[in-house]
Amino acid sequence: MATRILPRLSRLAQHLFLAGLFVFIAAPMLVIVVFSFDANRFPTIPWGGFSLEWHRAILEDAMVRDAFLNSILVGLGTAVLSTLLGFAAAYVDYRWRFFGKRAFVLLVAIPPAVPVTILGMAMLAFLSRLGLFGRLEAVIACHTAVASSFSMALIRLRLNDFGRDLEPAAWNLGASHAAALFTVVVPFCRPALIASFFLSAAVSFDEFMIAWFVGGVHETIPVRILNLLQGQVNPKINAIGTVVLAVSIVLVVLAQWFVGVRVGKRADPT
Amino acid sequence: MTGSSPPGAADSPRGFLTGSRSTAGSPAVFAMLLGLPVLLWQIIFFAGPLVFLVVITFWQVKSFRLSPAFVADNWEKVLTSTAFLRALGHTLTVAGTTTVLATAIALPAAYTIAFRLSPRLRDFAVAFLVVPVFSSYILRIYAWQVVLSPQGVINGIAGLIGVEPLPLLGGAFSLQIGLLTLTLPIAVLILTFGFAGVDRTLIEAAENLGCRRGRVVAHVLLPAIRPAIALAATTSFLLAFGDYVSPLFMTGSKPPTLSIVVVDTVKSGSQWPRASVVGVSMLLILVAVLALGQVLSRRTRLRRGGR
């Protein structure tokens, strides 16, 4: 008997542990959403009753509206540029061999590994010398330098499944490199390109250090949140947070949907 | 991950083209057209700033203005200041603790996801874990502040039962909660993919030879995913070491971590060279940690090759 009960208990413990971890990860997000509808000024237990007051308040806050607008502009710009650069980098890596290729790939791959505090400071120092500081374009440029790493990874992964002979076949039939690229490679990569678009938008939409350092007076929404948090308790934060959370989650889920994340691929054929 | 060239990379178009003139334009030019913008972009907006940061560490501040020079003064001042050394020690301790905690918590969780969940649930778990990696870190830290603060959710509940308010916020405990919020999702993901990549026949072989589950885990699974463990640990360390938000909001930056020191020094205005010294030192430490992670995971590869 005991030999059967023990493995069962162990499995139960494993599942409970995992459930606990998921609660730990999900709880903060739930807290924000729940308290954004709370009538109390300060979020705590007991709940002060349902209210849309704070959601309404953020619509009337010009700074919050501007920050949202800035974030959307920066997110869109980053998404487009990062996908273009990420595709170019992934394709160059896929197609050619050349001296310094490893360095080239690393140059695109490592920016997310550098702490954003240091990156933000360095970008501010460098860009203010170039006269690019304090503009949304600068934030877009810097976000692109970071997000293109994810774009390259997603597109490169897709290119792994791309038949090596398809392009040479197109060239043999008389297509130029450019024509083959746009009519054969790009359509094949479309899901990864779309995923890269959404994911880099999410990365930009979530990033605050670089935007804070480089953006100057142009606040994006996470920077606005950071500044609000450093002031007094502000019940609007939960309402802003709910909107921001909804946007980021939708972006990341869309990205995943187009990539089709599967864990089992290698494990299943057993 | 994208560093190694694919197995078929040898059949590059250059070799291919020698036989056919049909393709318009030289592939070298075409490659440059695609590669150069990427190269320039990353140099101007990534590598350039970092190199410039190193350069600034040797500059001087004269009457509140940054002026080019070549002095080791800043390095000397910062590296010998007790404030810096204290912050360095604190940051290393905090990041080390987070690394151990995150790896220890993520391992059993990833094991459960990889081996105990149905394929559908497994994909769902991974999709669920990817979301927080790319979203709303500041917001989640703020939420923990709401939960842990003296008048917060937990103390609200404690008050209803009649328990005195607990000082949850503002110490090592809340700081680790914050840093685990940052590191756990990605650590679990890395280890889940590590476990999922283990050759199942190895496990079956061990089981056929009479190994209990515990021994399979200790002697087959853990050695097999050593690279993933090294990657999860280094990633956790990297994130915790450089984080600014958790120390700021979970402990009120007391004691300050290196990131806090960097931001405060930059904000105070004229001490760019010293802030740069702190930043560059942080980068050097991270490079050393990443190299250590590489060594730890490579050793397994060598052993595997020797088998």
Give B111-151 pLDDT, tens digit per residue: 999 998 998 999 999 999 999 998 889 999 999 988 888 87
Given a cut of 90, is residue A259 above it in pLDDT? no
Residues A210-232: pLDDT tens digits? 999 999 889 999 999 988 888 77
Residue window 125-154, chain A: list those with CB within 8 Å of chain B.
125-127, 129, 141-142, 144-146, 148, 152-153
b/e burial code for range B95-129 (CB count within 10 A of at least 16 → b): bbbbbebbbebbbbbbbbbbbebeeeebbebbebb
Sequence ranges of the domains in chain A: 58-259
Given its phi and psi angles, is residue A235 left (phi above 0), alpha (psi -120 to 50 degrees) or beta? alpha
Residues B207-249: pLDDT tens digits? 888 888 888 888 888 888 999 999 999 999 999 999 999 999 8
Interface predicted TM-score (ipTM) of this complex, two decimals: 0.89
Decide: residue A264, CB within 10 A, 0-12 exposed, 13-18 middle, 19+ buried. middle
Residue A97 to residue B12, Cβ atoms within 8 A: yes
Q: What is the C-alpha end-to-end distance of chain A, expressed in Å?
A: 31
Q: Is A122 on the interface with B (CB under 8 A)?
A: yes
Residue A114 to residue B283, Cβ atoms within 8 A: yes
Q: What SS3 class is residue B216?
A: helix
Residue A17 to residue B112, Cβ atoms within 8 A: yes
Q: What SS3 class is residue A37?
A: coil
Confidence of residue B300 (pLDDT cuts 50, 70, 90): low
Report all structural domains of chain B as residue ranges with CATH numbers, in order of start. Answer: 72-306 (1.10.3720.10)
Q: pTM (2 decimals)? A: 0.87
| Minimal C-alpha gap between A56 and chain B (Å) | 19
Decide: residue A172, CB within 10 A, 0-12 exposed, 13-18 middle, 19+ buried. middle
Q: What SS3 class is residue B61?
A: strand
Q: Which chain A residues are within 8 Å of B34, Cβ to Cβ? A: 88, 91-92
Q: What is the pLDDT of residue A199?
A: 95
Confidence of residue A53 (pLDDT cuts 50, 70, 90): confident
| Minimal C-alpha gap between B306 and chain A (Å) | 24
Numbers of helices and strands, H then E, in chain B:
16, 2
Residue written as token pair 């070298």: B28
Residues A58-259: name the CATH superfamily: MetI-like (1.10.3720.10)
CA dihedral B48, B54, B58, B62 (to 10 degrees): 60
Closest Cα to residue A248, out of A196, A200, A206?
A: A206
Q: What SS3 class is residue B24?
A: coil
Q: Which residue has the higher pLDDT, B53 or A174?
A: B53
Mean pLDDT comparison of A57-61, A97-101, A236-240, B243-247, highest-scoring range: B243-247
Q: How many CB atoms lie within 10 A of CB A229?
A: 19
Q: What is the pLDDT of residue B24?
A: 43
Q: What is the pLDDT of residue A262?
A: 66
Closest Cα to residue B293, out of B218, B213, B190?
A: B190
Q: Is A21 on the interface with B (CB under 8 A)?
A: yes
| Minimal C-alpha gap between A200 and chain B (Å) | 9
Q: Which residue has the higher pLDDT, A46 or B70?
A: B70
Report residue B152 as tokens: 């917060």
Q: What is the pLDDT of residue B306?
A: 41
